[in-house]
Structure 1
């Protein structure tokens, strides 16, 4: 019996040694970094409104994360979040070049307009590449963890809420990749079949929990590729309803989606309504747990407003009141009633 006990203990020690040897120090560090990032850093990041800081942090952090892939550390989730975050500033730079190009063209500065347009296309190419990689890491994660092909088959049974957030961010990244690629003149040539796949994948997210975004995305697909005028009309209504649903939970992402689709379709009437809905929302009721996502949506809406104002007025939108258009009849301010009676 004594020999048997010694043999068992020796076997356990040997097994433990082999197990520890299999997990290199690099893998242990990588797994620790992953756990810290997802469990502690991410919730704090989501509560910030400093988009530029998040962009630059991801620019530096993402290559470090990628280095741990060769040590069998699960990096797809962190890389998807990191690349999506890094893409935002690149996209912002592209839109600034677009505005400069439009303004230069209006002023008759042809060479400057052409130069700015080329710079805009190249920046959109970079943004599309990053967004596409974020989407690819998202699909890779769910394929490895759940054997789920994005937009096909049975939905994965999420074990953590952060996986739902990844699903959400990855889906947005796919749409942004398409949008930026089109703006670049198709320099990346992103597969347009991604859009219907992502729309189908929205069945896996709870519409109420995720601020009406899943139904908004399905409605967007119907509007872009309508089966009939009636279907398109209902889809516009669905966009409006889900934008309002998001507001009830303190998120304006639905109005950003509404504005983006209206801009793509050239529907100025809907674009005006979307901009008004976004700007008039009560800032005090914004969901502070996801402030970063709302701030990103706010920047995207301002970009759309800038384009609209540049087209109508020849300059970007004002700092405030960007949904109050100069060609609309203004209602008199009731607070001024009677002020001149005694003069």
Structure 2
């Protein structure tokens, strides 16, 4: 017996239209939802990357003494990490460290160009010296831009520095980054001046930084806040408070830094001595630093900061040696100078033994 298949019964016209509308909405959600899902993924990834970098990458780096690797990392990862600010909150606090380090990279290049220029001048090669000076100023201009970006991110996160209303700090790292931001601001002004260019760094940034250091505990941070403040006092006319002696303050800060194994105050002291043209004091600071790093190991938690201080002291020493001898500080001779009196070797008259 043959069975005849009957066509399926038709759905009511209204239900057909409803089902079509649901399908259209479903497809639309799928297509448009790709962007929503992606944004959620990007935001989550950005939050995770920011949190990991702040809580683990930065502390790990601060325990390292490899400045070159820290420099390479900041230049390579800054665009990636900062781009997450397009999909989540701006990583202002992390940016302070990234741009301070990246600015240091450019400034290190400028120092190399300066040494090349000094060497060329001693060799009486005016064209080569001029070219190196041009490269130095270009590198300093880049450094100033990077430092200034770090300063602006510092202000965005902590608020405009004001000693009368200090920010609240979540932890020691947050307090350290505040100090790093103040240093970034001062470095931005210094690099801009040396580059002879104008990138918009506020000219009152020095006095602003000096006041803001009062928000930090001097004993806790190796004497660095007072050293920074005293350096500004010594460099800016009219900034010195009545009854204060900036170099006496710097001497005290040096003792604190040497004892703590974080000798960044030596750098501020050397800069202040250079600015005053006090060459004997400058030599004394360099000698003290060389002796201190031999006698006291760097603080393990802040090894990077101490290594950075040593690098800058070596740079100052290299400039002095290059100007006077045509070469950098000899290996293993930091703290010595070309005109030091040679140790006399006691000799014995062999004729007396015969």
Question: What's the TM-score, normalizing by structure 2?
Answer: 0.83
| Counterparts of residues 1-343 of structure 1 (less than 5 Å) | 24-143=40-159, 149-151=160-162, 153-227=164-238, 234-283=245-294, 284-330=296-342, 332=344
Q: Which residue of 2 aligns with 1:15?
A: none
**RMSD (Å) for aligned C-alpha atoms:** 2.5
Note the C-alpha offset of 1:122: 0.2
Contact kept? 2:63, 2:303, Cα under 8 Å:
yes
Whole-Å separation in 2 of the counterparts to 1:238 and 1:281 = 18
Whole-Å separation in 1 of the counterparts to 2:215 and 2:179 = 10
Whole-Å separation in 2 of the counterparts to 1:38 and 1:229 = 36
Contact kept? 1:223, 1:232, Cα under 8 Å:
no
Inter-CA distance 47–54: structure 2 relative to 1 (3 Å threshold): same
Contact kept? 1:151, 1:199, Cα under 8 Å:
no
Runs of 4+ in 1 over 3 A off after TM superposition: 20-23, 226-233, 328-332, 336-343
Inter-CA distance 30–321: structure 2 relative to 1 (3 Å threshold): same
Unaligned runs of 5+ in 1: 1-19, 144-148
Q: Which has the higher mean CA deviation after the structures are superposed, 301-310 or 317-326? A: 317-326
Q: Which has the higher mean CA deviation after the structures are superposed, 242-251 or 152-161? A: 152-161
Contact kept? 2:50, 2:91, Cα under 8 Å:
yes
Whole-Å separation in 1 of the counterparts to 2:92 and 2:298 = 30
Offset from partner CA, 1:211-231 (integer Å, 9 cap, x none): 101111111122113549996
Whole-Å separation in 2 of the counterparts to 1:202 and 1:281 = 25
Question: What's the TM-score, normalizing by structure 1?
Answer: 0.85
Contact kept? 1:220, 1:261, Cα under 8 Å:
yes
Offset from partner CA, 1:267-316 (integer Å, 9 cap, x none): 21211111011111144421011111111111111111111122233332
Whole-Å separation in 1 of the counterparts to 2:280 and 2:244 = 13
Inter-CA distance 296–229: structure 2 relative to 1 (3 Å threshold): closer
Q: Which has the higher mean CA deviation after the structures are superposed, 187-196 or 269-278? A: 187-196
